[in-house]
Amino acid sequence: MTDDRRPPLKIEALEKHYGPVPVLRGLGFEVAPGERVALLGHNGAGKSTLIKLVLGLIRPSGGHIRVAGHAPGSAPARIATAYLPEQVAFHKALTGREQLTTFARLAGEAPSAVMPLLERVGLAHAADRRIGAYSKGMRQRLGLAQALLGRRRVALLDEPTSGLDPLSRHDLYAVIDEMSANGTAVLIASHALTEVEARTDRIAIMRDGALVADDTLPRLSRQAALPIRIRLTAAEGAADQLHAELGGQRVNGSAVELLCPADQKMAHLDRISALGETVRDVEMVPPSLEDLYRYFCGEDRQ
Amino acid sequence: MIGRILAIAAAEFRIQRRNRWVVMATAMMTLFALALTFAGSAPTGALGVDLLTVAVASMTTLAVYLAPFMALMIGFDAIAGEGERGTLGLVLTYPLSRGEMLMGKFVAHLGVLAIAMVVGLGAGGVVAALTGGAGPDSVAALARLIATAILLGASFLALGYAASALAGSAAGAAGAAVGLWLVFVVLYDLGLLGAVVFDGGGVFTKSVFPWLLALNPADAFRLWNVAGTDQVALVSGMAGAGQTLPAWAAPASLIAWPVLAFALARLAFQRVEP
């Protein structure tokens, strides 16, 4: 019972070196129950290393990890952790039901939990087919089913949507939402920025083994102070006048694009509305996660 | 703990059955055992022993080669193969210790070997007994042969796991398995033989050689079966070396080998980072 009051995942000053090469440098963050956190970063930023450390598959060179208050790799920590590897693989010779039953027995769950889970991920019809005959999407669903076994406090999902069709992606995020509603802390390592933008509560960005951003999307936007893009469509033949009046950049024949800091948005809108008939349409684009990602990864050279 | 070991063992046994290893190993053992039994039926009369005794002697030689071979073929893939296919990382995130996982596989693989030995050697024994007669001594010899063949297989299963954990890749593990088989089953004996010839009946041959023989699980297996029955020793012509050793030496070696090799495999497995 005391477990439930401890944070599902707590990481402090985590260090990992491979020989003299640092892979993680003083990483620290927490994930609260039910929180969905996107873990972003380039290949080689240390995301997979971080996940392996949380799973207890490798040992840190320094710092602490606590999974529901337990050391990673310990039996209670493993019981509390669900994991979906990027390239999820199973024994080809086993059927989906047999493989999931094995996992259920390892997790201390009753085998009767298996069929409902297969139904939940849409694999009931293939339960008694060998995994060797499964498609990539079906294997991923089976991987998700095993991550749903038991009452997990933390779920670590490594590129969960890679190679999935749009419908399967939608199903996957529905399952993730369900996990989060049940109080499971979900950590999603991903490159699919537009997906996680809409589907997570918090964004953590890693760069060269350190955390360079860790907050909600609106707060990261404010912190980065990236400009809002305002796109104006001019009335017939008025584009030049608009450009002269407001500055910015001409885009094709009839549009003007402005970049304005977030806190000057209203002032700009005032000026635009004062122009009256000259402006036919206004479109505002806040900085996307992709812009933020570029910014925090130090690749925004504009 | 037992539940988790059995969960792994059940899945692993299923995999072995679907990979046809159960059928192949059993068929191989049966085929060779029957062939040897029929081939060995000729000299019975001359030696004055029943056919089962002769069959046990020839099947002992068969098992020395085949039991380690089959065990290594099953064992080499256990860790490296799983690591390569990517199944190891996920399994190890479950509340399952590496020792439990290895033990689960060991139970399943030993089951496969036991089926092959009981059916194969048993079939050879039954045919020999039916056609050429058997006595209580020769039946006991057959039982001993089957039990020790399983122990021999257990030793090489565990050695295969150790190779699998240390090799890093399935191909490397397969190569190491072949190497282990050559060293333990072929080269070791050749080396000892060379040393004995060189020594020419000196101190080495009388007091060191028998112990070195008992140290190798394959030779310990042979010694135990030969020393067990005078008649088998007579038929196989291998009595000399066994007589200078205390009776416990070969059994102790063959029982210690699976335990020590398993401990070695467990240690090696610890170093594997999936």
> Would you say the C-alpha torsion A141, A94, B176, B271 has a positive or negative sign?
positive
* Residue span of the structural domain in which B213 resides: 2-270
Query: Considering chain A, what is the average pLDDT of its residues?
Result: 87
Average pLDDT in the B119-138 region? 88
Query: Considering chain B, what is the average pLDDT of its residues?
Result: 88
Backbone conformation region of residue B221, classed left if phi is above 0, alpha if psi is from -120 to 50, else beta: alpha
pLDDT (tens digit per residue) in A52-79: 999 988 889 988 999 999 999 888 999 9
In the predicted structure, residue A196 carries a pLDDT above the cut 90: no
**What pLDDT was estimated at residue A299?**
62
**What pLDDT was estimated at residue B241?**
60
The H-assigned helical ranges of A107-216 are 114-120, 136-147, 166-181, 193-199
Tell me which residue of A100, A132, A91 sits closest to B81, measured CA to CA. Answer: A91
Tell me which residue of A80, A75, A50 sits closest to A65, measured CA to CA. Answer: A50
Q: Which among B11, B87, B91 has CB closest to A98?
A: B11
Residues in B whose CB is inside 8 Å of some CB of A read 3-4, 6-8, 10-11, 14-15, 18-19, 85-87, 89-96, 273-274
**What pLDDT was estimated at residue A245?**
77
Adjacency order of strands within the sheet including A21-31: A21-31, A9-18, A62-67
Q: How many domains are contained in chain B?
A: 1
Nearest CA in chain B to A56: B93
Percent of chain A scored above 70 by pLDDT?
97
**Dist. CA A225–CA A228, nearest whole Å:** 9
**What pLDDT was estimated at residue B117?**
96
Average pLDDT in the B141-163 region? 96
3-state secondary structure of A14: strand
**What pLDDT was estimated at residue B45?**
54
Do B93 and A83 count as a contact with CB atoms less than 8 A apart?
yes
**What pLDDT was estimated at residue A302?**
41
Q: How many CB atoms lie within 10 A of CB A250?
A: 14
pLDDT category at A2 given cuts 50, 70, 90 is: very low
**What pLDDT was estimated at residue B5?**
95
pLDDT (tens digit per residue) in B193-235: 888 888 877 788 778 888 888 899 999 999 888 876 666 655 5
**What pLDDT was estimated at residue B46?**
55
Do A106 and B274 count as a contact with CB atoms less than 8 A apart?
no
**What pLDDT was estimated at residue A187?**
94
Q: Which among B6, B92, B95 has CB closest to A107?
A: B95
Do A102 and B19 count as a contact with CB atoms less than 8 A apart?
no
ipTM of predicted assembly, 2 dp = 0.87
In the predicted structure, residue A131 carries a pLDDT above the cut 50: yes
pLDDT (tens digit per residue) in A287-300: 888 888 888 887 64
For the entire predicted model, the pTM comes to 0.85
Average pLDDT in the A148-157 region? 89
**What pLDDT was estimated at residue A251?**
79
pLDDT category at B126 given cuts 50, 70, 90 is: very high
In CATH, what class is A2-222? Answer: alpha beta
Amino acid identity of residue B262, one-letter, is: F
**Dist. CA B164–CA B215, nearest whole Å:** 23
Within A192-276, strands assigned E span 202-207, 210-215, 228-234, 249-251, 255-260
Amino acid identity of residue B53, one-letter, is: T
In the predicted structure, residue A176 carries a pLDDT above the cut 80: yes
**Dist. CA A182–CA A7, nearest whole Å:** 15
* CATH no., domain A227-286: 3.30.70.120
**What pLDDT was estimated at residue A262?**
77
Sequence ranges of the domains in chain A: 2-222, 227-286
pLDDT category at A1 given cuts 50, 70, 90 is: very low
Min mean pLDDT across A192-206, B169-183, B241-255 is at: B241-255
Q: Identify which has the larger pLDDT, B106 or A233.
A: B106
**What pLDDT was estimated at residue B94?**
92
**What pLDDT was estimated at residue B269?**
94
Strand A62-67 relative to strand A9-18, pairing: antiparallel
Nearest chain B Cα distance for residue A105, angstroms:
6
3-state secondary structure of B75: helix
Average pLDDT in the B14-29 region? 91
Average pLDDT in the A100-105 region? 95
Q: Which among B18, B19, B86 has CB closest to A85?
A: B86
In the predicted structure, residue B238 carries a pLDDT above the cut 70: no
What crossing angle do the helices spanning B2-18 and B98-132 adopt, rounded to 10°? Answer: 60
Min mean pLDDT across A168-172, A179-183, B181-185 is at: A168-172
pLDDT (tens digit per residue) in A199-253: 889 999 998 888 888 888 888 888 888 888 888 888 877 777 778 877 778 877 7
**What pLDDT was estimated at residue A301?**
41
3-state secondary structure of A187: strand
Q: Which among B4, B14, B273 has CB closest to A105?
A: B4
**What pLDDT was estimated at residue B239?**
52
Q: Identify which has the larger pLDDT, B58 or B116.
A: B116
Min mean pLDDT across A258-267, B180-189, B207-216 is at: A258-267
Strand A9-18 relative to strand A21-31, pairing: antiparallel
A162 contacts A193 by C-beta, under 8 angstroms: no
Min mean pLDDT across A35-39, A197-201, A263-267 is at: A263-267
Do A106 and B96 count as a contact with CB atoms less than 8 A apart?
yes
